[in-house]
């Protein structure tokens, strides 16, 4: 049987001296959070570390990839086990993190993912997990703050040239609700009229035939819409959604 040992200054090595690198899967899960009496905010899910390295700092959900599972299966398992996320509306690989020293305790290579949840999704978070607004992130462990930045950049880019908006929204919604979600996700104001025109022209949006009752302020009932497809597709490869 092959045994492995580690040294204070290097990675885990087997009996022949061959380095054994740890591979982990991690995820930046984003959601437009609806806070009462406040504007919707784009948030990322994180958990507070309870041991070194970086005890007390916040980190993205992560864990080792086992020998009998794919990286995608691993990230889904760790999301369920560590923060209670059992289903995502979208998941894709984001990047590979391999800078030596990114984990001060061991040589660790990570495959980072972007995950999305609709604004209606509720997650029963454990005590050590929380949603954090991307504009006000706490101090984060490892290189996870950079992962959050690149996850947001990827999502915003894909909102421009794909139908990725389906992953931010529930099955049915009003245009006002979708406008607010896009504004939070993109980080700038969005016109409901222009958004509806663009998405319908691209074939992303369709009316359900239903209406949503007006709120306490009155007004006309809102037409209820849905995304035509709930799978990622490129709809306009050269488009950019601008303020």
For the stretch 125-140, pLDDT in tens is: 999 999 999 999 999 9
Of 34 and 110, the one with more pLDDT: 110
Q: Is the pLDDT confidence value at 4 over 50?
A: no
Determine whether 37 is exposed, middle or buried from the number of CB atoms within 10 Å of its CB (0-12, 13-18, 19+): exposed
Q: What pLDDT score does 21 carry?
A: 85
Confidence of residue 36 (pLDDT cuts 50, 70, 90): confident
Count of other CB atoms within 10 angstroms of residue 93: 13
Contact 165, 227 (CB under 8 A): yes
Q: Is the pLDDT confidence value at 112 over 80?
A: yes
Q: Is the pLDDT confidence value at 7 over 50?
A: no
Q: How far is CA 77 from CA 4, 14, 142, 148, in A?
A: 26, 28, 21, 20
- Whole-angstrom Cα distance, residue 121 to residue 227? 17
Confidence of residue 12 (pLDDT cuts 50, 70, 90): low
Q: Is the pLDDT confidence value at 66 over 60?
A: yes
Q: What pLDDT score does 3 carry?
A: 44
Q: What pLDDT score does 8 carry?
A: 46
Q: How far is CA 174 from CA 169, 195, 208, 242, in A?
A: 10, 12, 10, 21
> Average pLDDT, whole number, for the chain?
90
Question: Poorest-confidence range of 26-40, 56-70, 71-85?
Answer: 26-40
The mean pLDDT value for 38-51 works out to 95
Q: What pLDDT score does 47 carry?
A: 98
Q: What pLDDT score does 222 carry?
A: 82
Of 241 and 30, the one with more pLDDT: 30
Q: What pLDDT score does 20 carry?
A: 75
Q: What pLDDT score does 2 carry?
A: 40
The continuous run of DSSP H or E covering 136 comes out as: none
All domains in the chain, ordered by first residue: 4-159 (3.90.79.10), 161-227 (1.10.10.10)
């Amino acid at each position: 049987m092959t045994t492995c040992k580690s040294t204070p200054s290097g990675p885990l090595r087997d009996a022949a001296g061959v380095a054994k690198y740890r591979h982990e899967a991690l995820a930046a899960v984003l959601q437009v959070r609806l806070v009462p009496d406040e504007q919707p905010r784009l948030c990322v899910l994180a958990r507070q570390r309870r041991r070194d390295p970086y005890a007390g700092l916040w980190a993205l959900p992560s864990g080792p990839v086992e020998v009998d599972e794919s990286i995608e299966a691993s990230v889904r398992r760790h999301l369920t086990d560590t923060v209670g996320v059992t289903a995502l509306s979208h998941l894709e690989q984001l990047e590979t993190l391999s800078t030596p020293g990114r984990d001060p305790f061991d040589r660790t290579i990570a495959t980072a993912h972007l995950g999305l949840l609709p604004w209606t999704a509720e997650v029963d978070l454990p005590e050590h997990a929380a949603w954090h607004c991307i504009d006000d992130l706490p101090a984060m462990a490892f290189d996870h703050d950079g992962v959050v930045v690149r996850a947001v950049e990827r999502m915003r880019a894909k909102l421009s040239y794909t139908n990725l908006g389906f992953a931010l929204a529930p099955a049915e919604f009003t245009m006002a609700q979708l406008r607010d979600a896009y504004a939070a996700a993109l980080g700038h104001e969005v016109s409901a009229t222009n958004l509806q025109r663009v998405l319908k022209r691209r074939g992303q949006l369709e009316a359900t035939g239903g209406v949503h009752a007006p709120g306490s302020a009155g007004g006309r009932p809102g037409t209820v819409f849905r995304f035509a497809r709930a799978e990622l597709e490129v709809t306009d490869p050269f488009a950019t959604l601008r303020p």
